[in-house]
Amino acid sequence: MVRAATVAGVVAAASLLTVTPAAAWPFWQKWVPTSDYTCGPTTNHWKSKNVIFQTCIIRGSGKNMQPVMLVRNNASVDIEIYGRVHAGWNPNTFAYCHDSNLSAGALTACYGKSSSGKVGNNYGWGELYMNGVNENPSETLMANYWIPG
């Protein structure tokens, strides 16, 4: 009886650690492009021209959409990052990605929450904080995705 409860507890804990792109926040994840996505312009963080980022919108089935912020560290040193990604089609919907180390030359992604887009223009954007600066994040320019009516 105790062993069955222990196994059930381990299985339950392991299932909590299994993350898919739709539920990746609050952790930075590998960027896995899908067949249907669009990205906004790339910009650099105000603290370093070697740290570039952009926001993309992934389109799922039906009107389901998901914002994702991509960050690339082109510097020769590791950096610490923290981010927030917003879904403009669903007011007050945003997701945080915790403080994380980003190695020199690495690319990572902060996936926002999946939600239903609307007919017309849908937009998303991200905010990137780096190296312990909690004020004045750099913001990405918006990514837009049009859903016909």
Between the alpha carbon of residue 149 and those of residues 117, 120, 123, the distances in Å are 12, 7, 16
pLDDT digits over 49-85, tens only? 999 999 999 999 999 999 999 999 999 999 999 999 9
pTM of the model: 0.80
pLDDT the model gives residue 23: 56
Closest CA to 110 of 81, 88, 138: 81
pLDDT digits over 87-96, tens only? 999 887 889 9
pLDDT digits over 2-51, tens only? 444 444 443 343 333 333 444 566 899 999 999 999 999 999 998 899 99
- Domains defined along the chain, listed by start: 22-147 (2.60.40.10)
Beta-carbon contacts of residue 27 (< 8 Å; ≥ 6 apart): 19, 97, 98, 100
Q: How far apart are CA 34 and CA 19, in angstroms?
A: 16
